[in-house]
Structure 1
Amino acid sequence: MNMHILNHLVDDIRISMYEEFQEFMQMADTILSDNLKMLDQMASEHRAEMEDHYITIGDYITHLEELLSKYKGDTDVETQKQTKRAQVNLLKSLIYDNTKATVTLDSSALKQLIRLSSASDSASSKQHVSFSVNLDYNPQTLGAGQTVKYDAVLINDGNGYDDRTVVFTCPVAGTYMFVVDSLSYPGIWLLLKVNKKTVGFIHVSSAHKGNPLIQISRTVIVKLKSGDHVKVENLRNNAYVHDDLYSGFTGVLLY
């Protein structure tokens, strides 16, 4: 009897301890789970902050690298220019003696100077633009506001002149020289126009007696932007422009 009671008490104690242990484990799991969630949230927030920080640093480093590369490129270009100037000046001193005002024939130095000068010229003039056009074998009688149709092309480097529209379209910005010449009767007024602006007049006075054909010419130097249009336009009615090589329109990029 006593042994039976003792065993029963032991079982009760064991069950009670097991239940308490289960409650403890559940509580521990809950606390651990909550802590893990909190840690995971903190890690996510920290990770996002670090990623933003790294992106900011990365952008800043990229910007610094770009600035450094640009500065290095500019420095390299300026260094090359200074080196070339020094070489040219040295070669000039070998060829030309300033104290004696005499030229010394040093063929190797002279050849190198010519080569450097040619390379410098070719680098500075990246694109050649020039055209020269005239009337073919058909003289023109023009109305007011009509464009002179130069339909015979002698040269058109850079393809700026269009013989269909009879207009020169500037392919590269720079300073240009234009020459307009015409064999015409007195009373003619021709306009050299850049876009809608008149930059030059060509005129033969009506005071000339006998109505002889007179050769007239006008030269203009202007600055153009890429895409500017240049043409020769008649001002008044019944303007006569002689054909063949007597009347033409020429333009060239100077620099």
Structure 2
Amino acid sequence: MGFKYLNKEQDIFDGDDGEDVYANEEQLQARLEYFEDQLAGLSEGAPIEERITSLLEIGRIQVERYKGADAWEKAFTAFNLAQQDELWELAVEACDVMFLSEGPDALVALGHALWLGVTFPIDPEITVAMLQHLVEESPEEADTRAVAAAAAHYITSVRCGADDELTFFTSQMLASVADKHSHITDQSTFDLWRKTLKLDEPEVFLKKLSGAVDQLVDDKWWIDRDKIKAKLDNET
């Protein structure tokens, strides 16, 4: 079962012939011009969310058009605007666009998306999508895949509840990871696998996830994590 929060539409290059590809490119160009006009038409006093949203839409379209450099530029601008106003969900979406642009620092962007998506109680569907990126980027036998899937299931359990469809999805994602990681095919061996890797202990697997994020970012942080943590501590 696949899951993509920010890319739910059919791939634009799934057409059967060249005419379909050409038609889709025309549609993308029309969408691009629409959002560029929207962005250009914003007044100085317009809500910052509108500017960020337009930038992200342009970035996503450029990802679809394989214009990675332009997608990165728009998304990074959106990220900076979002973090200035502490719009963390939009900041994560901007990181997702940067990751999908496949730029030189795409994994750095993914690391930021993961840290922010886990730290802040944003839409859990977005957080799960970022964790799924980490699953897909990691070798099948790597413990990082298991840690990411366990974190996704834990987050949906906390933010959505045990009976939510997203929680069911993350349970299936964890089962799939277990199968590919250690050829787990039944409940008893799954329970043993989960206990052996301490995937039933959030304080353990979340710390491992933090280590994986640090490896992705490699000290290229665009945010002040200590300042954010201090503010969150004061608020609680």
TM over 0.5: no
- Indicate the structure with greater strand content: 1
Higher RCO (C-alpha 8 Å, min separation 6): 1
- Indicate the structure with greater helix content: 2
Q: If the length of structure 1 is used for normalisation, what is the TM-score?
A: 0.19
Larger Rg: 1
